[in-house]
Structure 1
Amino acid sequence: MLAHRTTLFTASGTALARASARAASAKGRDIIDLSAGEISANLPSTISEGAIDAIRRGINGYTDTIGMAELRQALAHKLSQETGQAYSFEEIAVTGGAKQALFNATLVLLDPGDQVIVPAPYWSTFAAQVLLAGAQPVSVDTRENGYVPNIADIESALTPRTRAIVVNTPNNPTGAVYDDQTLVAIAELALAHDLWVIFDECYGAFTHQGRRHRSIVSLVPQIRSRTITVNSFSKSLAMTGWRIGYMAAPAAVVSAVKALQSHSTSNPNVIAQHAVLHHLQNGDREAEAILREQLTAARSLGLEILSKLKDVDLPAAEGGFYLYLDLSRLLGSSNSVWAGKTADDVAAALLEETGVVVVPGTVFGDPTGLRLSYGGLPDRLRAGCHRLVAFLDTRNDRNLVVGARQ
């Protein structure tokens, strides 16, 4: 018999989508995977150099549980420059990717019965980790407000048990970038109600259409003592498999995280730590610039093709590297073959009939959304988007013709 907590969550929806792609591909089908939350790109030379040098020097032992002091100093310097707030290494914990940083935060901040505001659509791990901590995720729908939370809606969701608010900008899955006004209002609300802000900025390196990512602590310095900032190098340097992330938080929180991590994974991978340290000390930001250019071109390509969709509005795609389609008009039309269906049905049929893998919005608490990644190879993105457009439009056109004949 399994523990009761195993009933509180299922495997990551994005991981399941990737598994579906692999399974279909193994059968010899031509599969186009637009589900992956990663960028196809060469590793920055400074990362390779740092890792190879560490291996050649025979570095293979433990480091401090929450990362080497030199790396934490470098990260503190990075955060200080980005936020305009002076961080020290005592306020930094290095983790096995951003997921561990978030998991650590939920376990050291939340008690059973606490509630956490999670704007929806949301990355499913947010809700799962809150549940694992014995707390309750409280969803606040953002779909009617351009996928940015309405402050009045957040305030209405607060109860005496509310402990924290999750802020994920640029957002996964929607690509929404929270404006300064929204971030300031969230910070003021958190201060007024003595709440924590869990600020996930993993996609902060990539914004589009003149949008700019801002840290909530740079806008409202007073919220810093109530904020857990989480980031990683998985997206910004296209090194998802290296599993290296970090959190910035008050020293007392970092101390608790250190004790917790000492009983779970202990220190993050030592070679990955040295690789990132070498990059921070010697990198010139060229790698990040190249990735931004690559994603900007891919975004334009995807939007150009998706603009041909007849019953689906073009996504804003302000940040990150996802195109999030709102299928509500398609699914809600009585003339549509998809009437009464959900994004799960669309995604399943899309895979079965065209070999294109996407992530249905139900994974993110939204039964009407569909997430496509444009982080992959351009030719696969082009082919996948063309297949999707043809599939959705042809299906509907065919249904309208049949309906007219009846």
Structure 2
Amino acid sequence: MPPACEYHDVIILGAGASGLLCGFTAAQRGRSVLILERANKVGKKILMSGGGRCNFTNHFVEADNFLSANPHFCKSALKGYTQWDFIALVEKHGIAYEERKHSQLFCKDSAKDIVAMLLDECAEAGAQVRSHCELDSIRALDDNSRRYQLELHHDGRPQTLQCQSLVVATGALSVPTLGGSGVGYEIARQFGLSVTERRAGLVPFMFTDNIKNLCERLSGTALEVSVSCNGTTFNEAMLFTHRGLSGPAMLQISNYWYPGNTISIDLLPGQDAAQWLLQHKQEQGRSRLRTLLSQPLPKALVSELQTLWWPGKEEAPLAEFSDRDLQRIGQLLNAWQLKPSATEGYRTAEVTLGGVDTAGISSKTMEAKQQPGLYFIGEVLDVTGHLGGFNFQWAWSSGYSAGQFA
């Protein structure tokens, strides 16, 4: 072995959520661990998540909260390292947190607390972290104790590293400005693993027709809705933007939408809008429709809807609307059909759907079945969580699983 070659039992590519947790877990077993980060600092995605407060997990985590070609794959890891395990770690470090809507847990102060906690655990366990590392190549070695050799540049200087276990925690294609890339897929393919089709997930929708203009005019307006697509429904807030529709409801349903699909938006969830309108026609026939609708809905939205759905009758009292007209408007309120032209793509997507095919990975250890010593964890795998702390929990759980065996 040339003298310039440096050896570690475990080398982890990526110092994000899954990589850091895997790093200190492996180091706690007495393994020598080196975590390599391409960016100038670690945990960038953690720092920007949850508006800088990091929605680090959820009180209720189940396999149903995740999408994958194999919906059972995530179960073993989620059971092996639960939300309660991570919450205990957060509490051990004295990090103040709070529960918000839908059982989501956020830092009270800053996401920096989570990154600091992970780095403290790495330091205490003896796992080294290096940033500014640009990977050039990986090759498999015949030696069972030194299975992989990496060529890279650290701070611009060439380095050769060897390890017995190589963990790929490189993330995925979402938010390239925070270090997202496809390098993990390239590594998977190099060693004979297949990669499923990928697309942007948890991402806002865009429109090209008159709905785009409507969204521009309503930019900043938000309301609670129920949105459905391909048999899945979410009840969350929707936000109009100058490009289209965003907010938790739209991000959630984007995981189930494909180009050409229509989304159905219920603007009055839990309310039979047609019956409600007909009842008010009987009781308050002299009221205008927009006055009635402005009680549960934002006035600016009602103003746009009357141009769309009852043009020319803006000033007419309810009594002048036929029952059929009110039933039609009620149906539109409960099931507004919109066809997005596209999503905003990886630039703003919180996650990448698809990834390294889990058929080639052990669900217990995260090790490639046909490639000893090669592990894949976190977002690079074909496991994607709903909005609400689930993707971080997958990072913690999969990182821990690999850290137990790498």
TM range (shorter): under 0.3
What is the TM-score with the length of structure 1 in the denominator? 0.22
Bigger strand fraction:
2
Q: TM-score, normalized by length of structure 2?
A: 0.22
The structure with more helix, counted as a fraction of residues:
1
